[in-house]
Amino acid sequence: MLNKVSVGVRNLQKYRLILGNELIDELEKLAAELKGIRICHVNSTQFGGGVAELLSSYVPLVRNLGITMDWQVIHGDRPFFTVTKSLHNALQGGDSSLIRSKEALELYETQSKANALEMDYNYDVFIINDPQPAAVRYFSDNTHAKWLWRCHIDTSEPDEEAWNFLHTYLKHYDAAIFTMAEFIPRDLTVPIIATMAPAIDALSAKNMALPRGLCREMTENLGIDRARPLILQVSRFDPWKDPFGVIKIYQLAKERVPGLQLALVGSLAADDPEGSEMYAAIHTEADKDNDVYVFTNLTGVGSMQVNAFQTACDVVIQKSIREGFGLVVSEALWKARPVVAGNAGGIPMQMTGNLSNYLVQSIEGCADKVVYLLKNPNIAARLGKEGKENVKRNFLMPRLMRDELSLVKRVLEA
Ligand code: UDP
């Protein structure tokens, strides 16, 4: 059997204090209409990266509405996840050499068949996240359920061969969900195509309000000098997140802000074999400078510590080159931190209004904006406040619950 992740139930009612009653009342009405429906999310890891982060809050909040929702995780060994990471990269327009090999595609199919045999099919609706488990629908003989494919990555300019390969499996779905309309490949043929942005959980250990003084103490205990400025990037160790670019940005900014410190906080995800190699390379680079810190979940920097870093730091960087959404941007904005971020994929939708002036393309441009914000704390504080409002309006869990449950209802009625 595939593993089911134990996430319990979380109290949705607390969101009334943040968002008022209207949306939560609407969710309760939707839940009554979906009474008795059993929904299951499927992905490829229970830890590391945005999808696991999202599901670990989303599933227990939906359960609080009285809806049956579970989360199954597919199996795979390192060669399988090497293939799926290549597929992921190629779908984002990156290197596609590996997925051109017949062996790689066969490996993907064989493992997908094995996963399909191990799934618990006792559900009315499956929501399959990302390319790794996408083929289980094809290899399952479950016909009574509705199947939705949820794409979390930027597929606006996919490698053609990679896309054609995946599309073979997607054709059998009842609906597909993308973060932005720009990500929908032109030739996709499924009956219903929807767009909805992901969201963060304001009540999780990652995002709950912590006093800034306490957070500064926590980061101090991890070696940071609280008397000097700190910039931060939180990301999986992945080339698309440009961690080496971030180190260069820090070096350029430090010429104008002496004493500057950089923290790179990165997790290693079970389904991302590229991570450990990049981690080693980043470590080597960081070792050359006493004011560059690298932290990971492997040494105890978990959700609460990420919260502390995001709350305590002076400026957050997210220098992504490609980005499906970038939960970390909303996480930082929710803490009213100023963010300078790559003008990529789903990031601009989180950086609207005055925040859009801090969307960057180049390393030099990013360093300039970082220095400006470090030298103008009043402007940085105003931006943080504006960002927090934007997250409250658009990127908290109840909005995503409404979007997804409404779609489930629509698919069931189709
Ligand atoms: N994250 C974390 N610890 C780390 C690095 C990342 O908890 O050391 C979390 C981060 O806070 C965010 C998620 O992993 O919730 C990353 O999601 P995002 O959408 O930004 O990127 P993805 O990894 O999905 O590409």
Residues 229 and 164 in one domain: no
Q: Which of 180, 267, 283, 391 for mutating ligand 1's site (highest number of atoms within 8 Å of CB)? A: 267
Q: Which residues form the domain of 338?
A: 212-394
pLDDT mean across residues, the chain: 96
Q: What percent of the chain has pLDDT over 90?
A: 93
Q: Are 334 and 200 in contact, with CB atoms under 8 Å apart?
A: yes
CA 32 to ligand 1 center in whole angstroms:
33
Residue type, 50: G
pLDDT tens-place string over residues 248-306:
999 999 999 999 999 999 988 777 888 888 999 999 999 999 999 999 988 889 999 99
pLDDT tens-place string over residues 199-215:
999 999 999 999 999 99
Residues 379 and 409 in one domain: no
Count: domains in the chain: 2
pLDDT band at 389 (very low <50, low <70, confident <90, very high): very high
- The region of weakest confidence among 48-52, 271-275, 350-354, 390-394 is 271-275
> What does the angle CA 361 – CA 364 – CA 368 come to, to the nearest 5 degrees?
100
Q: Is the pLDDT of residue 118 over 80?
A: yes
Of ligand 1's listed atoms, the one at least distance from the Cα of 198 is 19
Within-domain flag for 207? no
Q: Which of 235, 237, 350 for mutating ligand 1's site (highest number of atoms within 8 Å of CB)? A: 235
Domain of residue 329, CATH code: 3.40.50.2000
Say yes or no: CB of residue 236 within 6 Å of ligand 1: yes
Q: What is the pLDDT of residue 110?
A: 97
Q: Is the pLDDT of residue 385 over 80?
A: yes
Identify which of 59, 47, 41, 68 has the alpha carbon closest to the alpha carbon of residue 149: 41
Q: What is the pLDDT of residue 273?
A: 82
Residues 126 and 226 in one domain: no
Other CB atoms within a 10 A radius of the CB of residue 16 amount to 14
Residues 293 and 407 in one domain: no
Q: What is the pLDDT of residue 95?
A: 85
Q: What is the pLDDT of residue 100?
A: 84
> Which residues on adjacent β-strands are paired with residue 175?
148, 192
For residues 26 and 36, give the distance between their C-alpha atoms in angstroms, rounded to a whole number. 18
Helix axes 377-394, 363-375, angle to 10 degrees: 110
pLDDT tens-place string over residues 9-28:
999 999 999 999 999 999 99
Burial class of 135 by CB neighbour count within 10 A (0 to 12, 13 to 18, 19+): buried
Residues 179 and 291 in one domain: no
Q: Is the pLDDT of residue 371 over 80?
A: yes
Question: H-type helices in 224-273, by residue range?
Answer: 243-256
Q: What is the pLDDT of residue 268?
A: 80
Residue type, 31: A
Q: Is the pLDDT of residue 357 over 90?
A: yes
Q: Are 328 and 234 in contact, with CB atoms under 8 Å apart?
A: yes
Residue type, 201: D
Other CB atoms within a 10 A radius of the CB of residue 102 amount to 7
Residues making up the chain, counted from first to last: 414
Within-domain flag for 206? no
Q: What mean pLDDT comes out for the span 69-77?
A: 97
Within-domain flag for 204? no
Residues 148 and 274 in one domain: no
For residues 105 and 283, give the distance between their C-alpha atoms in angstroms, rounded to a whole number. 33
For residues 213 and 217, give the distance between their C-alpha atoms in angstroms, rounded to a whole number. 6
Residues 373 and 404 in one domain: no
pLDDT tens-place string over residues 119-177:
999 999 999 999 999 999 999 987 799 999 999 999 999 999 999 999 999 999 999 99
Q: Which of 306, 329, 350 for mutating ligand 1's site (highest number of atoms within 8 Å of CB)? A: 306
Q: Name the pTM for this structure.
A: 0.97
Give the three-state DSSP class for 117: helix
Q: What is the pLDDT of residue 144?
A: 92
Residues 315 and 405 in one domain: no
Residues 245 and 380 in one domain: yes
